[in-house]
Amino acid sequence: MPHLHRRHLLIAASAAAAAAGAAAAAPAIAGAKPKADAAPALTWEFRQADGTDWLKATVPGTVHTDLLSNGKIADPFYRVNERDQQWIDKKDWEYRTTLTLDAKTLSHDHVELHFAGLDTYADVYVNDVKVLSADNMFREWTVDIKPHARPGANSLRVYFHSPIAKGLAALDAFGFAVPSPNDQSETGGLGDKKVGLFTRKAGYHYGWDWGPRFVTSGIWRPVTVRAWSTARIDDLRIVQDSLTPDAAQLTAVFEVTATRETTAVLDVSSAGDKTIAAKTETTLKPGLNTISVPFTIAKPKLWWTNGLGEAFLYSLKGRLTAAGGADTRKVKTGLRTIKVIQTPDAAGASFYFELNGVPVFMKGANYIPNDSFLPRVTHDVYDKVVASAVDTHMNMLRVWGGGVYEDDYFYDLCDRNGILVWQDFMFACSMLPGDEAFLDNVRQEAVQNIRRLRNHACIALWSGNNEIDSAWQADVPNGGWGWKQPLSEAQRDRLTTAYNAIFHDILPAAVSAHDPQTFYWPSSPLAAWEGGNKVKHADHLAKVQSGDLHYWDVWWGQKPFAEYRTVIGRFMSEYGFQSFPEFKTVQAYTEPGDHDIFSEVMKAHQRSSIGNGTIKNYMERDYRVPSDFRQFLYVGQVLQAEGIKVAMEAHRSRMPFCMGSLFWQINDCWPVASWSSIDYYGRWKAQQYFARHAFTPVLVAPRLDGDTVTVTAVSDRLTDTKAVLSLQVLDFVGGIVFERNDVITLKANTSAEVASEAVGALLNGVAPEAALLHVRLMQEGQLLSQNILYFKPVKDLVLPAPEYVTQVKAVGDELAVAVTAGSLIKNLYLSLDEGDGRFDDNYFDVLPGETKVVRFKPAARMSAAQLEQHLRLMDMAQVRG
């Protein structure tokens, strides 16, 4: 438990520091008056609205985290504490502070209070006058408080209404239950009343099949005061008009609000490239003005994804100069063309991303919020998850629609690291109301977030929602997930009308108006969209495939992992399998008596309805099921990794038929058994290590097809590669049974079968449970890719007792562990009983006679002697049922 608290308190402290920094970094103020100072860091208090005691609060923050820091609740993630904290969302809460404004600030034409995020139903009072009512977590809110402000102390109070009370009122007014299966209303004490869908708030806060139910309230993003006169830049958009090797023709589109008619100069420049310079003179009219400043970049450097080239970014500055003052806005952008190509062919229609004219296979994962309590997510947390994606050769993350439009810093990281973003709008797995107030709220939410994110080079696609089309299928009477059947025809029509309004009208219109160069896709998955309400639903059983596909018969349908090789769409945007986190993470939320996968606590930290039993079921198929709890966690991680490896390799092996593989999911929002490849504390599971090998730019992938072994080679390189393909069959003590070397040419940016051998010829009389196939691709002595195929499930292998020698030494700022194997070591797992850090490889096989060197980067200072003292090794030969 202390480990859990350490991370949370550090994050809370960092969030408070970030809030203070945000207040100090308010936008520059333009106008005839001198610039006003930004609001100082504020001291906040909060209380239960029907209570009397005011307590210290952190902004940005949430009610839950403020209660935790004041010692009023226990750690929400520990054991089953979640259950005892469901009362919080049923209450109203108040926050207050004192805002000190001087005469200089108040002399400006406008003194605005800007909330970057209010969660969710909030009334804002300045000097006891209500100046703002908010009802959308995803929107920013700005109000001019000058009419109500005075020099000196000003009271600022934010009253949060219970999102549950608001939701129940909306449900009663709506008249019938709306499908929303992931809302854990029973945990929240509401029975079957699903209310989250009525509130524009992160869906996962109401629970999901990997997350807890904490329906938060609070000022979740920074608050700033902005004072200005005459004119200010509201927005600066960089539009790429054309892009050739010789020149990029661009337009800086300024949106400027002016209080009065005045002459102004608008210019664009770059500190890094003095040749980038353009300006225009104009007369500003009162109100909103849109001014375009065209400019050219000669010999432009292109932005490329991770693995294909540099993700080059241009730093640009737009400046407004008006009588008596100036305003500036800085933008970083990358120059690239990106298209989604859907071309009919004999197998259906393609669905791939073309970057700078090059078809690119998307390798990556689905991404969820990093915490149930969003203000605790620091830059360090973002750094680690994006760095993990980069280290694993990923080039795309899908920001899933049940979370939030992420912090700007996340998209900045993706820009800098060449990670494309498939961006969902924030709708997932539920039908929705369609009254005018709700639709207008959605419209404004979409416009704000499109405008906020559209300059990012990483934004590749806007998707309307997650899985609602598949679940509903309005035009198929018995189609979908059974949502329609309990409803009357009138109720179905009402929900269908709302769906069509949002996903076939409002959202595509918003993208077309504000980011027309980016592709819009109404729902994921979807086979085709012809505009309007003309859709073709995704179907993994269809003989021809198009669009993107989610495949969940492995896991939910209990199908074997081998199905990943036969069910392949044109773009696999979801698939996955669960595992538990490692023992050190489990220790953070349990007591020793909880260490059984079917204990109350372990089941509480498992939200899939078929969870822990399904993991055990699949384990029984291929592994010895350990009686030891720690060994069970270890085997479970290998099970997940090996299963998803089948999918990743199968998808890449079908390139260019299939051009994307995004597994579910890379991260967690709390410590839990889930589909994640990295746990809540940032610790890589076996799957993340396996993804590093499966997503390497050049891949060799053997598979067992009955009595035949087929080897496929895949290359993401944009030029052909001449290489040596090596096939070697070994017994488990190092005897060579079969050996073959071929010189091959890997064609650029595609896959091909490069070898096929009968199993009998490979084994040459050796028992299949005692041999392995080691496949390598070499180029001029450099290893491009290697893989190992076993001829029997792990539970049937005759694994020798482990024989190995380890050596630990310091290598610069890192440490290294060398493991020399006397016989096969299967899935060697390195861990520490004290301390933390990351090995650069783990859960790997070591062949007989091989020395494997693994680097280790400790989280805190550690000597080689300390690493050696605390190092623990586990492998499959140690596992006992």
Tokens of 857: 């980067």
| Phi, psi values for residue 706, rounded to 5° | 65, -115
Dump the DSSP string for 501-555: HIIIIIHHHHHHHH-TTSEEESSBSBSEE-STT-EE---TT-SSB-SBEE--TTT
Q: Is the pLDDT of residue 18 over 60?
A: no
pLDDT tens track for 462-505: 999 999 999 999 999 999 999 999 999 999 999 999 999 999 99
CA distances from 244 to 148, 239, 250, 301, 704 (A): 53, 15, 12, 10, 46
CA–CA dist 775, 785 (Å, integer):
8
For 241, counting Cβ atoms within 10 Å of its Cβ (0-12 exposed, 13-18 middle, 19+ buried), the class is: exposed
Size (the chain), residues: 881
Element (DSSP H or E) covering residue 755: strand 750-758
Dump the DSSP string for 799-838: PPPP-EEEEEEEETTEEEEEEEESS-EEEEEEEESS--EE
Greater confidence, 132 or 32? Answer: 132
- Could you tell me whether strands 93-101 and 152-160 are parallel, antiparallel, or unpaired per DSSP bridges? antiparallel
* SS3 of 560-584: CHHHHHCCCCCCEEECCCCECCCHH
| The dihedral sign for the CA sequence 258, 262, 266, 271 | negative
pLDDT tens track for 78-125: 999 999 999 999 999 999 999 999 999 999 999 999 999 999 999 999
CA–CA dist 160, 48 (Å, integer):
10
Instruction: Write the single-letter amino acid at 801.
Output: A
**What was the pLDDT predicted at 812?**
82
CA–CA dist 722, 652 (Å, integer):
19
How many other CB atoms are there within 10 angstroms of residue 538's CB atom?
Answer: 25
Q: Which residues pair with 745 in a beta bridge?
A: 722
pLDDT tens track for 166-209: 999 999 999 999 999 999 999 999 999 999 999 999 999 999 99
Residue 834: pLDDT band (50, 70, 90) is very high
pLDDT tens track for 525-579: 999 999 999 999 999 999 999 999 999 999 999 999 999 999 999 999 999 999 9
How many degrees, rounded to 5, is the angle at CA 718 between CA 716 and CA 724?
A: 65
> Pick from 123, 154, 119, 125: which is nearest to 140 by CA?
119
**What was the pLDDT predicted at 813?**
79
Q: For the CA atoms of the chain, what is the radius of gyration?
A: 29
Q: Which residues pair with 421 in a beta bridge?
A: 397, 459
Instruction: Collapse the DSSP code of 679 into the 3-class scheme (helix H, G, I; strand E, B; otherwise coil) and give the result.
Output: coil
**What was the pLDDT predicted at 362?**
98
Do 313 and 334 meet the contact criterion of CB atoms below 8 Å apart? yes
pLDDT > 90: percent of the chain: 93
CA–CA dist 398, 583 (Å, integer):
29
Instruction: Collapse the DSSP code of 14 into the 3-class scheme (helix H, G, I; strand E, B; otherwise coil) and give the result.
Output: helix
pLDDT > 70: percent of the chain: 95
| Phi, psi values for residue 787, rounded to 5° | -155, 155
Phi-psi category of 148—alpha, beta or left, where left has phi over 0 and alpha has psi -120 to 50? alpha
pLDDT tens track for 597-617: 999 999 999 999 999 999 999
pLDDT tens track for 649-659: 999 999 999 99
Exposed e or buried b per residue across 209-233, where buried means at least 16 C-beta atoms within 10 angstroms of its C-beta: bbbbbbbbbbbbbbbbbbbbbbbbb
**What was the pLDDT predicted at 60?**
97
How many other CB atoms are there within 10 angstroms of residue 860's CB atom?
Answer: 7
- What value does the mean pLDDT take over residues 663-682? 98
Element (DSSP H or E) covering residue 491: helix 489-501
Instruction: Collapse the DSSP code of 268 into the 3-class scheme (helix H, G, I; strand E, B; otherwise coil) and give the result.
Output: strand
> Pick from 382, 467, 455, 397: which is nearest to 430 by CA?
467
**What was the pLDDT predicted at 881?**
79
Q: Is the pLDDT of residue 12 over 50?
A: no
Dump the DSSP string for 605-664: TB-STTHHHHHHHHHHHHS---SSHHHHHHHHHHHHHHHHHHHHHHHHHTTTT--EEEES
Q: Please name the residues in contact with 52: beta carbons below 8 A apart, sequence gap of 6 or more.
A: none
CA–CA dist 233, 329 (Å, integer):
7
CA–CA dist 126, 148 (Å, integer):
7
**What was the pLDDT predicted at 510?**
98
The pLDDT mean for the chain works out to: 94
CA–CA dist 611, 617 (Å, integer):
10
Q: Is the pLDDT of residue 23 over 80?
A: no
CA–CA dist 329, 324 (Å, integer):
18
What is the DSSP code (8-state) at residue 593? G
Do 564 and 554 meet the contact criterion of CB atoms below 8 Å apart? yes
Q: Is the pLDDT of residue 24 over 70?
A: no
| Phi, psi values for residue 144, rounded to 5° | -85, 115
Q: Is the pLDDT of residue 37 over 60?
A: no
pLDDT tens track for 385-404: 999 999 999 999 999 999 99
CA–CA dist 788, 711 (Å, integer):
11
CA–CA dist 343, 354 (Å, integer):
12
Residue 880: pLDDT band (50, 70, 90) is confident
Q: Is the pLDDT of residue 2 over 70?
A: no
> Pick from 78, 48, 74, 51: which is nearest to 63 by CA?
48
Tokens of 216: 């938060």
